[in-house]
Amino acid sequence: MSALLAILSALAGNKTIMAIFATLVGGLGLYVAGGVNRAKKDAARQAAEKLAAAEGRLEMDREATDVERAARDLPDEAARREAMRWARR
């Protein structure tokens, strides 16, 4: 046990080994920070995609509502043609 402590104290006193250790710990910290940053960017991208999809659905619903309102005033044959036009999309 005392031999292990002697080795560790000798390594702690060695400036070169401590510099290498500090560099490794710093590199590990940068790697972890980069992973967190990538995760945040990915979450932001997914949120933007979900927002765009929701806006697209809202716009389609608005268009469909406008067409439905217009179709109420159409005669049966014209309403059928309009429905077929939308069904093909």
Top pLDDT among 55 and 13 is at 55
Q: Where are the alpha helices (DSSP H) in 1-89?
A: 2-13, 15-72, 76-87
Compute the distance between CA of residue 36 and CA of residue 30 in angstroms, rounded to an integer: 10
**Is pLDDT above 90 for 70?**
no
- From residue 19, alpha-carbon distances to 2, 15, 26 in Å are 25, 6, 10
Amino acid, res. 23 = T
pLDDT for the residue numbered 34: 87
* Local confidence band at 89 (pLDDT 50, 70, 90 cut-offs): low
Q: Where are the domains of the chain?
A: 2-87
Average pLDDT, the chain: 82
* Contact in structure between 12 and 18 (CB atoms under 8 Å): yes
pLDDT for the residue numbered 85: 79
pLDDT > 90 fraction of the chain, expressed in percent and rounded: 18
